[in-house]
Amino acid sequence: MYIPASFREDRTERLHDLIRTHPLGLLVTQGDHGLEASPIPFLLYADEGEHGVLRAHMARANPHWQSLAGQAECLIVFQGPEGYVTPSWYPSKAETQKAVPTWNYATVQVRGRPSVTEDAAWLRRQLDDLTAFHESSRPRPWSVGDAPEDYVASQMKAIIGIEIPIHRIEGKWKMSQNKDAADREGVIAGMRSGADPHRNIQVADLVARG
């Protein structure tokens, strides 16, 4: 990924936080059948390994998993907040007309060697952990144990587990850092305006954070 110095994000906690907040990663591999890509919800185990470990599952019917075991490396792309930036928000545009549209975004790319498993205990832990992570904030959290055991067992037969120890992680936060303070404030104000068709509070907050 091309990352100019002003857009590089190296803080591990910030990278991990984007993965937790936007866990649907795009798993990309190059195998015997060419490029394959599958969107999968991952769960990050930040305290394991050098940079953390990703675990997930996919449908057994998805042929992508069959090529994972032989892969020396795979790529997972996590896309965070993103949005269009109009030159109309820049005060400098009114002065010089030297401005063009762009796109602000935050993204994390992860690389690691994948492995697959059909182990029932591993799969049950992954389902329990994944469900607990996403249900914990609900008033009445649902858990896998709420479903009949025979039903859960039958569903588990239809999935394959995936584990990816992270050996490389990099982030790109393109949030108007290459603009002066006045233009950045213009982007923030424009994205926070309820009257603007490109209103984008999430990206405005990231631009404000720097």
Q: Nearest Cα to 46, choosing from 108, 1, 107?
A: 108
Which tens digits make up the pLDDT trace of 65-98?
998 988 899 999 999 999 999 999 999 867 787 7
pLDDT the model gives residue 97:
79
Q: Nearest Cα to 133, choosing from 29, 33, 41?
A: 41
Can you tell me the distance from the alpha carbon of 200 to that of 184, in angstroms, rounded to the nearest whole number? 14
The CATH number of residue 10's host domain is: 2.30.110.10
Contacts (Cβ under 8 Å, ≥6 apart) of 102: 85
Q: What is the domain count for the chain?
A: 1
For residue 112, what are the domain limits? Answer: 5-209
Q: Is 180 helix (H, G, I), strand (E, B) or coil?
A: coil
Query: Within the chain, what is the greatest distance between any pair of CA atoms?
Result: 69
pLDDT the model gives residue 36:
94
Q: Which residues of the chain have pLDDT under 70?
A: 93
Q: How far is CA 4 from the centre of its chain?
A: 20
Neighbours of 188 (CB within 10 A): 19
User: Do 67 and 33 contact (CB within 8 A), yes or no?
Assistant: yes
Nearest 5°: phi and psi at 204? -55, -40
DSSP assignment letter at 72: S
pLDDT the model gives residue 65:
93
Amino acid at 109: Q
Element holding 203 (H helix, E strand): helix 201-209
Q: How far is CA 82 from the centre of its chain?
A: 12
What residues pair up with 44 in beta bridges, in sequence order?
A: 54
pLDDT the model gives residue 94:
74
pTM of the complete model: 0.93
Can you tell me the distance from the alpha carbon of 57 to that of 196, in angstroms, rounded to the nearest whole number? 40
Residue 174, sorted as left (phi over 0), alpha (psi -120 to 50) or beta, turns out to be beta
Q: Nearest Cα to 28, choosing from 71, 80, 81?
A: 71
